[in-house]
Amino acid sequence: MAHENPAAGRFVVRFALTDESLGEMLTGPPMRDVAAGIASGRYVVAPAMELSVASMLMGTVVSAMWMVLEGHQSWRDAAAGAAELILCALGVSHDEARRIAASPLPATAFEV
């Protein structure tokens, strides 16, 4: 999104990290996915770390967007690097995290 619409990306980078957005992250799809990974034993995260995980996810995504907007990385490199780091932080082995991060993205509801 930041690559295709830099103005929207700059808005998100500047204003995304709020109490409200962090609260929404805790109940939204990303944290439901993390909770499922923890419940299945896929991710190794202490139960009391949910807020920290949500904060890490948001910070990593916003930082990756900034890297793209400032021309430091392509959107693919920024996204793959962010995904790999998050997966490693959640307890996935480095080799597997790198393989997953390099895999093609599935189709999403946002694609036209």
What is the secondary structure of 71-90 as a DSSP string? TSS-HHHHHHHHHHHHHHHT
Each domain of the chain, given as residue ranges in start order, spans 6-102
CA distance 67 to 59: 12
pLDDT category, 108, cuts 50, 70, 90?
low
- pLDDT of 23: 74
pLDDT category, 86, cuts 50, 70, 90?
very high
pLDDT tens for each residue of 38-69: 889 999 988 788 888 888 998 898 899 889 98
Alpha-carbon torsion (12, 17, 20, 24), positive or negative: positive
Asked whether residue 112 carries a pLDDT value surpassing 50, the answer given is no
